[in-house]
């Protein structure tokens, strides 16, 4: 028999989560929620971490408070930072910037399997915003990774073929690895000049795991 959720406990958890996000955004004047923590806020994360990734122009040391670890990430831009609609004092990256940042930094934050799980839940992305954030980073390797991954989810995310072609026009001729920890299990994708793990999306579509 399925037990009904304890409403009081659930409400308390949400209050604590909101409080943690407010603490994160008050660490420095430029602090905001990013990466996997932003995916959690949008309800897209497959796993809930007891750590909050905080981007900031001002560096701070990682610290733990009330069983939550607050981790510093260097802020590369202020574009794409939005105010939470229902919580005062909470700022986070919008969905498009969260996607770009998370693809850029998955080797350091979140991991590749969790990234794919988050991407699978997205049903719309604004192409103009994606292009804007990509142009600020202006990195050929990022265009490669974003283009390759979002091409797979293009229909689900309502992205145009023109956007994918735009990414492809920016990749140059350098061959790179999509997942650096899986070099020996990767094959060459000549369309994107990218070394890609064997059976990548087939495994995820079957509900399996990528060992990263």
Determine the pLDDT at residue 166: 97
- Specify the long-range contacts of residues 197-205, CB closer than 8 Å, at least 24 apart: 201/152, 204/113, 204/116, 204/117, 204/120
The H or E element containing residue 145 is helix 140-152
Residue 182 CA to chain centroid, in angstroms?
20
Q: Between 92 and 4, where is the model more confident?
A: 92
What share of the chain has pLDDT > 70, as a percent? 87
Write the pLDDT tens digit of every residue in 80-114: 999 998 788 999 999 999 999 999 999 778 788 88
Is residue 73 very low, low, confident or very high in pLDDT (cuts 50, 70, 90)?
very high
Using the predicted structure, report yes or no on whether residue 186 has a pLDDT greater than 60: yes
Question: Which residues are CB-contacts of 47 (< 8 A; sequence separation ≥ 6)?
Answer: 114, 117
Q: Which of 127, 131, 141, 32 is nearest to 76 (CA)?
A: 32
The residues spanned by each domain of the chain are: 7-205
pTM of this structure: 0.86
Task: Quote the CA–CA distance of 24 and 54 in Å, as a whole number.
Answer: 6
- Cα Rg, the chain, nearest whole Å: 18
As a 3-state breakdown, the chain gives helix, strand, coil percent values, each rounded to 5, of: 45, 15, 40
Determine the pLDDT at residue 108: 79
Determine the pLDDT at residue 205: 53
Is residue 71 very low, low, confident or very high in pLDDT (cuts 50, 70, 90)?
very high
């Amino acid at each position: 028999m399925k037990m009904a959720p304890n409403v009081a406990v659930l409400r308390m958890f949400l209050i604590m989560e909101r409080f943690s996000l407010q603490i994160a955004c008050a660490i420095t004047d430029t602090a905001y929620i990013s990466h996997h923590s932003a995916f959690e806020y949008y309800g897209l994360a497959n796993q809930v971490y007891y750590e909050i990734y905080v981007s900031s122009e001002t560096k701070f040391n990682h610290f733990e408070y009330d069983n939550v670890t607050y981790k510093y990430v260097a802020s590369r831009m202020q574009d794409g930072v939005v105010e939470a609609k229902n919580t005062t004092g909470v700022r986070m990256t919008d969905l498009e910037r969260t996607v770009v940042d998370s693809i850029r930094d998955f080797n350091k934050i979140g991991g590749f399997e969790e990234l794919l799980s988050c991407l699978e839940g997205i049903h719309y992305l604004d192409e103009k915003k994606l292009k804007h954030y990509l142009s600020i980073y202006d990195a050929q390797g990022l265009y490669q990774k974003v283009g390759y991954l979002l091409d797979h989810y293009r229909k689900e995310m309502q992205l145009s073929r023109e956007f994918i072609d735009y990414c492809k026009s920016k990749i140059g001729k350098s061959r790179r690895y999509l997942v650096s920890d899986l070099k020996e299990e990767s094959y060459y994708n000549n369309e994107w000049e990218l070394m890609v793990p064997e059976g990548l999306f087939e495994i995820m579509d079957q509900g399996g795991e990528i060992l990263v």
